[in-house]
């Protein structure tokens, strides 16, 4: 099957943009995690930054948020590149994009989030409960104590939603571009 879109570069751009938008939307949904844990909005991102060694919770929050957006955009970019070489993964329309994006979301959870959380973030949080550099970091680490399985389950659902959004947006952008008569065969 041939996929019709504008150019390879535009296709990669569509997928990257879709990944950025989807990760931004998921970032907003992560406020649910903060609500459940009783922390301020953005604390989930602070956990990411704190796990990387940023001891100021405000700075850690911005670092975590930026890394989350960058990761989402990069995942979208990789999705687009893989789809160019493996046409069965291509989100050439919104309906197919949702299905293929869901596969990407699950793969992203299994390959990146699960190991990073299990072997990086959670052990770091556990060690911070015992020896935090300041009270704010201790408070954040202790509020995420005993939430490991909730975080894994919730993040699995968030990654599915991310993937669905990624696939839908990139597929829809491809449809729009082709419908305008500006598409060309690339595969």
pLDDT band at 5 (very low <50, low <70, confident <90, very high): very low
Higher pLDDT, 150 or 20: 20
- Of 19-28, 35-44, 107-116, 121-130, the one with minimum mean pLDDT is 35-44
φ, ψ at 53 (rounded to 5°): 105, 5
Of 132, 117, 151, residue with least CA distance to 36: 151
Distance CA 61, CA 70 (A): 14
Of 7, 169, 172, residue with least CA distance to 73: 169
- 54-82 pLDDT per residue, tens: 989 999 999 999 999 999 999 999 999 99
- 137-147 pLDDT per residue, tens: 888 888 778 88
Of 126, 123, 122, 128, residue with least CA distance to 150: 122
Give me Rg for the CA atoms of the chain.
Answer: 18
Report whether 15 contacts 77 (CB < 8 A). Answer: yes
- 101-146 pLDDT per residue, tens: 999 999 999 999 999 999 988 888 888 888 888 888 888 888 778 8
Of 80, 69, 65, residue with least CA distance to 21: 69
């Amino acid at each position: 099957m041939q996929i019709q879109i504008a150019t390879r570069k535009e296709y990669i751009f569509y997928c990257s943009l879709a990944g950025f938008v989807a990760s931004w939307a998921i970032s907003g949904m992560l406020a649910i995690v903060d609500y459940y844990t009783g922390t301020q909005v953005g604390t989930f991102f602070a956990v990411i930054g704190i796990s990387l060694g940023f001891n100021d919770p405000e700075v850690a929050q911005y670092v975590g948020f930026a890394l989350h957006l960058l990761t989402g955009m990069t995942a979208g970019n990789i999705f687009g590149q893989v789809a160019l070489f493996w046409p069965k993964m291509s989100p050439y329309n919104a309906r197919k994009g949702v299905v293929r994006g869901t596969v990407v979301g699950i793969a992203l959870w299994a390959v990146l989030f699960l190991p990073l959380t299990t072997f990086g973030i959670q052990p770091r949080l556990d060690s911070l409960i015992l020896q935090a550099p300041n009270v704010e970091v201790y408070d954040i680490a202790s509020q995420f104590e005993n939430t490991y399985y909730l975080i894994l389950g919730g993040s699995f659902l968030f990654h599915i939603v991310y993937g669905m959004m990624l696939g839908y947006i990139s597929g829809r952008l491809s449809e729009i571009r082709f419908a305008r008569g500006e598409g060309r065969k690339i595969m």
